[in-house]
Amino acid sequence: MLRRCFLLLAALLLVGPAAAQSTKTLRVVMHSDLKILDPIWTTAYIVRNHGYLIYDTLFALDDKLKPQPQMVDSWTVSDDQLTWTFKLRDGLKWHDGQPVTTADVLPSIKRFTDKDALGGLLAKSTKEMTAVDDRTFRIVLKEPFGLMLKALAKSASVPLFVMPKRVAETPVSQQISDTTGSGPFIFKKDEWKPGEKVVYLRNPDYKPRAEPPSGLAGARSPSSTGSSGCGSPTARPRSTPCCRARST
């Protein structure tokens, strides 16, 4: 089931160049019903997959399960392994057109570490997190933490999805209602019908990485005209939820 979910997620994220030549609607029968929208609040894989469609991550695992930069452009580590400095890629935008900044990243990390077990270990080793400027942030540790990049890139259970500051500051005990992200697809909340369909639209402002796709890393390039959503109820059992990706 996990392998099937991963392959389905990869198919949604990595629509090939050929599909970009014409308007496409990708209809997919999902393994489960999307009833919760907060990928930090729950560990359900259907919600995690939803998160990967609409949000982006600082790092991501490639096909060899090695952490690779995603939203991060570059990073440095001090000789004593205590100071990690990260710089975001230029041109990252939220679905509402506002720029992604470190003011969004820091509370997103905090919400993640409040929920996730590995994130909690990172939090215990952290002395402070600070924004250097709008694109650069720094994590200073109390002691070396060898799993830093693995924590920032993890894909199982609770990934570190970066959310707008106003959303990321929501306590982990409370579900978010604002689904604004910066990922390759935009969630159409007004068309969401739990148990029937979920609809995503291609994000025209999404800026994929230049590297080729590898696992969940590299270019996450949806079709230039395609979007996602659920299939027709007549084409599937009535109890099976569906997801549709369609173009704008």
What pLDDT is recorded for position 82?
98
What pLDDT is recorded for position 25?
84
Can you say whether residue 56 is alpha, beta or left, with left for phi > 0 and alpha for psi between -120 and 50 degrees?
beta
What pLDDT is recorded for position 103?
98
What pLDDT is recorded for position 233?
32
What pLDDT is recorded for position 190?
94
What pLDDT is recorded for position 222?
63
Give Cα separations from 101 to 20, 105, 178 (angstroms): 30, 7, 18
Per-residue pLDDT tens digits for 13-48 = 555 433 444 467 888 888 888 999 999 999 999 999
Please give the distance of CA 98 from its chain centroid, rounded to a whole number. Answer: 17
Beta bridge partners of 69: 59
What pLDDT is recorded for position 226?
37
Amino acid, res. 223: S
Q: Tell me which residues of the chain have a pLDDT lower than 70.
A: 1-23, 222-248
| Average pLDDT along the chain | 85
CATH classification (class only), 2-246: alpha beta
Give Cα separations from 28 to 7, 123, 214, 231 (angstroms): 12, 38, 22, 6
